[in-house]
Amino acid sequence: DNAGPSLREEELKRLANILSPHGLRVHEIAADGHCLYRSLAHQLCANSDASSIDFQYCRKLAADYIRAHPDDFLPYLLADHDFTEGLIESYCNQVESSNEWGGQLEITAIAHALRRTIVVYSAD
């Protein structure tokens, strides 16, 4: 009894249809909390000679950029966190040394730090 393609299979098919015209494809990344940083490191290494870039480098890059530009990020952090003295430093320590998921703030920080555009593709 075949129930048809799974939701995951449907999502992968939609992504393939979006990516293929750009000469891109899906590359599986471990879903371990470091996945955003691993995917950025994968793409940075694939598009340069910098094979030493890893998820830890990307985490540190994001944290260092946020620390250096706190006024750019504080309004967004306050949307999800109560203001406390040291909020930026605490947040950056978490970005740098945990397996907490990354999101828009970290993508923005890394893009600015590298002075590169980061395009995020979604099946949605």
Domain limits of the chain? 7-114
Query: What is the per-residue pLDDT for 121?
Result: 92
Average pLDDT of span 31-38 = 94
pTM of this structure: 0.86
Q: Could you write out the DSSP letters of every residue in 32-46?
A: SS-HHHHHHHHHHHH
Q: Give residue 5's pLDDT.
A: 81
Share of the chain above pLDDT 90, in %: 70
**Structure confidence by residue, pLDDT tens digits, 70-116:** 999 999 998 888 878 899 999 999 999 999 999 999 999 999 999 99
Looking at the structure, give the CATH architecture of the domain made up of residues 7-114: Alpha-Beta Complex (3.90)
Q: In terms of pLDDT, which residue wins out, 45 or 100?
A: 100
For residues 79 and 68, the answer to whether their CB atoms sit within 8 Å is: no
Contact 15, 121 (CB under 8 A): yes
pLDDT of residue 51: 66
